[in-house]
Amino acid sequence: ATTFPAVISRDSAVTVENMSRLSVGLDYQVIRRDVTSGGYKLDEPFEARSMDGCIAIDVTPWLSPFVTIGASSARHSDTDDYGDSKAKWSAGLSFNLWQYEVKKPSWMAGRLYIKSVAEYASYQSANVGTEGDSMKWTEVSVVLPVCFEMFEDLSPVADKSLRTSLCLYVGPAFSRL
Residue 88 to residue 162: CA distance in whole angstroms: 29
Query: Which residue from 54, 84, 88 is spatially nearest to 71, judged by alpha carbons?
Result: 88
Q: Say if residues 119 and 140 touch (Cβ distance below 8 Å).
A: yes
Query: Which residue from 174, 88, 92 is spatially nearest to 136, judged by alpha carbons?
Result: 88
Mean pLDDT by 10 residues, the chain (177 residues): 58 74 87 77 80 94 94 78 86 93 81 90 83 83 84 55 60 70
**What is the pLDDT at residue 3?**
57
Residue 134 to residue 127: CA distance in whole angstroms: 6
DSSP label at residue 60? B
Residue 76 to residue 46: CA distance in whole angstroms: 7
Side chain identity, residue 15? T
Beta carbons within 8 Å of 2's beta carbon, 6+ residues apart: none
**What is the pLDDT at residue 152?**
59
**What is the pLDDT at residue 174?**
72
Q: Say if residues 39 and 80 touch (Cβ distance below 8 Å).
A: no
**What is the pLDDT at residue 155?**
52
**pTM of the predicted model, to two decimals?**
0.74
What separation, in Å, do the N-terminal and C-terminal C-alpha atoms of the chain show?
39
Q: Say if residues 111 and 105 touch (Cβ distance below 8 Å).
A: no
